[in-house]
Chains A and B, each alone.
Chain A
Amino acid sequence: MNFDRSRRRFLAVSTGAAGALVVGWRVQAQQQLPYLGARFQAQQLTDFVRVQADGAVLIGARGCEVGQGVKTDLPMLIAEELDADWSRVRVEQLSYGYIETDSGPGDRYGNQGIGGDGTPAAWEQLRQAGAVARWLLVQAAAQQWRLDAATLRTEAGFVIAADGRKLAYGDLAASAATLDAPASPPPLKDPAQFAIIGKPMRTVDAHEVVLGRTEFGIDTYWGNALVAVIARCPYPGGTLDTLDDALARRVPGVHRTIVLPGPKPDAPFDGVLAAGVAVLADDTWAALRGRDKLKVAWKADAAWANDSNASLEARATAVLDGTTGATVVRNDGDFAKAKKAPRTTTLGARYQLPFLAHACLEPPCATIEVSTDRVVLVAGLHDPAGASHLLHVLTGVPREAIDIRLPRAGGDFGRRLHNDYVAEAALVAREAGRPVKLVWMREDDLQHDFYRPFGIHALTATLERGKRLTGWSHRVAATPRNWRDSRLAGNPPFSGVVDADAFPSGLVANLEQVFHALPCGLPRGELRGGAGAFQAFAAQCFLDEIAVATHQDPVQLRMDVLGAPRMLRPGFDTGRLAGVLRIAAGKIDWQHKPKNGHGLGIACHAGAGAYAAHAFEVSVEGNDLVIHRAVCAIDSGRTLNPLNLQAQATMATLGAVSATLHEAITLKNGQVQQHNFPDYPLLRMGQAPHAVEVHSVDSGADPAGLDDVVAASVAPALANAVYAATTVRVRKLPLLPELRRLL
């Protein structure tokens, strides 16, 4: 046992807790607890759970909070198995944890990435951590009372003996901290005993947020850090041509400029960094004024200099009209043969989706200090492990000396999967030789995002006797994801764009999913919904068109395609999808079509073990679309926190409503045309439905991430509702401008 180490730890925390006694668990550096994860050691338990002598419990939250509620929900898992009193729990954000162990390097606290998989990954591990802490407290009580531990129970921060005697966790913490953790995992609770999981719990940070005290990445202020803003090349893959920074350097408060070289396709970190000129100043305003005074000219990369939406549309149409250059992603049965079968009719339609930006309200921002033997970074991150690796590659500093702290982040939606802003900040700070806070302006953000791909979808269906779906062809011509990103060179070009398992894969005998790549210079990435949302708009609108053309009910057609409830493949239970579809239809009162000019539309989607259906009631009034009702039915397994589940479903729905109605990034002369919110409009209060009616099925299955699934069924349900209200079929997004064009 290393006394120095444990003493430092003890003192550090005591100070932070305003003098209260804080007890960690016994530091046995080499005791492995394999049941908590391959690299989990007893000492990490202290990082997740501490009990203060006054009974307060400190729980460490490992994921960066971007608005998904992980900082509330994941600690609930620990508190549940600990049998803590939730009102005495204080949640603290953990830094990124890197650890070298005998079995190799790894993540000290498990998966600190966020996104759809944040909760599922934690479900077993964090409950187990809470159970170990509880086990230690129970053993301590047993020793004190000289009773058999098996006769003791726990409840809301107390160990209770059979005769009713009670010991508070705070009074047991000191002795519990001297015990060894159990060699085998203590049993987890029967879900029927849950006292915290499944109860509505409010956002733990809410009080700090409403007071304006919460530190987001952009709120990091180090006394000696310079503020940097970067003028970036507006052409994808372009380079700096000429620079005159004399006037910029004369702006009071400006220290210097630093040239960032253009993209390096083979760079180990990222091939998509823009060429730029950083202006470093005492404050943001001086840096911005300096940037305004730069005289800078850029050279476009000839390969992308003429990219435009018009050229992309023409190329997409050409490849979809032809038959060559395609990647077959899935081929079941024989679609060509199905088309030629007797008594078969064929229907077809094309759908178009634009590039989309994430537009997190907090733009990318990173504060960093780079020295020869240490790096300190503060930034809102989706992938802190990736940032750690990136900084190691860029600076040569060993990973254990790279200290990454995670403030709250103002949105993510997939934007912060990319650590481009971390790389920029590191390059600037290394060159400047002092700490730097890099801030992106909104224009930087909209012009240099990793955009959701552009694509045109050609769908064809074959119907036997004008009714039964016998064949389905979904051909996508789209800009491949992460083009130019060397890290993803090994991924298939259609990843994130075409999903082999997209609905109705596996449900139609003759089915093909085909991808045509449309090379384009823009960096592309994941946006809430991923490939699912990209394909669901086309597939779920097309199902409605088939229903209309063949005089079938759109809900019944979907039910018929889904067929009998069964596990079609791991993670996809047709019965659960039919279940949410049935709920959405029931809640929107599908059987009673409104006769007042309102229209009902419905769509459903499944992915990663979660299921969602949306139903909308809309009307078109003048030039505007009014959403009268929004219903969202979800089944994402066991509900950890119903209040947050409702919030997440509402937010994912409204985020998708915003994208569906308004948003598009367009290209002209090789440049992104949008600069700020006036030309990239987001949904406003007055355009949002007053409520999203969320209905969740608590199926008891392990929790699954729901954002991506919920985001996918919104656009088609809206377009289907618009058709029901107006008989105008919108096949191109964003919906509102297209609807106005068609009306």
Chain B
Amino acid sequence: MPDNPFRRTEPRPVPPVAASASEKTIPLVINGKSFFHNGDPDMPLLWYLRDVLRLTGAKFGCGIGACGACTVLIDGKAEPACLLPVKALAHREILTIEGLAGKDALHPLQEAWIAEDAVGCGYCQTGQIMAAAALLARKPHPDDADIDALPNLCRCGTYPRIRAAIVRAANAPVEAKQ
């Protein structure tokens, strides 16, 4: 038995793969960085993010775009990554939860999520935050109906705190927003 009980789940992930460009590769822009996919062009973005790049913030929940756990932003719009084949995403701007925070500060939604203690098990929350980010980008001061329309599922039932966090972020001082 290893002696240190505080260990993490090593072995750690292998480093992300950034293949070089060739005729058959698909150029992708993820969180501002360029990647080239040379595997199955039908692979959904979710599995490319997770299994190839080891960006695991987007979660698998249903595989059919029904739960929102894998929500990412494509050109600023919230989309389920499990339904998007990589081949449809060449040169589109892909933002995942890993790219949401600024260099020195969390996104106001991330700050608000912590302040409202919105995390239950935590599994759906990255998708919830990305969906809320798209909403705030589209409508900086959403009303109740806008929040009601968010489609993401939370099995734990943290909806009231998610709602409070979105309202808090919407009301955060302007300079704190990105």
Contacts and interface: CB of A to CB of B under 8 A. Distances in A.
Given A409-B121, A685-B152, A12 B2 contact: yes
Interface string B59-82: 111111011010000000000000
B51 A285 contact: yes
B26 interface: no
Given A209-B125, A215-B8, A647-B161, A684 B153 contact: yes
Contact of B61 (A252, A361, A683, A691): A361
A403 B66 CA distance: 36
By CB atoms of chain A within 10 A, which of B9, B51, B106, B161 has the most? B9
B19 interface: no
Contacts of A97: 5
A248 B160 CA distance: 45
Given A16-B4, A411-B123, A689-B160, 6 more contacts: A67-B120, A215-B8, A219-B50, A408-B121, A643-B117, A654-B159
A227 B43 CA distance: 15
Contacts of B40: 252-253, 285-286, 289
Contacts of A518: none
B163 to A, nearest CB: 6
A403 B64 CA distance: 35
Interface residues of B, number: 72
Interface of B is mostly: loop
Contacts of A677: 62, 64, 66-67, 153
Contacts of A1: none
A284 B123 CA distance: 19
Contacts of A92: 6
B160 A655 contact: no
By CB atoms of chain A within 10 A, which of B14, B39, B98, B160 has the most? B160
B98 A212 contact: yes
Nearest to A654: B157
A210 B155 contact: no
B136 interface: no
B159 A210 contact: no
Contacts of A284: 47, 50-51, 60
A399 to B, nearest CB: 10
A220 B11 CA distance: 9
B25 interface: no
Contacts of A652: 157
Contact of A441 (B43, B63, B157): B63
A651 interface: yes
The 7 A-B residue pairs whose C-beta atoms are closest, nearest first, are A212-B57, A654-B157, A410-B123, A67-B121, A686-B148, A12-B4, A212-B97
12 contacts: A8-B3, A16-B7, A210-B119, A222-B11, A283-B52, A407-B9, A411-B155, A442-B62, A654-B159, A654-B160, A676-B62, A685-B154
A214 B9 CA distance: 11
Contacts of B43: 283, 285
Contact of A651 (B14, B54, B126, B157): B157
Given A210-B110, A212-B126, A215-B9, A362 B121 contact: yes
A692 B11 CA distance: 42
Given A213-B57, A223-B14, A651-B157, A206 B113 contact: yes
Given A67-B156, A410-B123, A401 B1 contact: yes
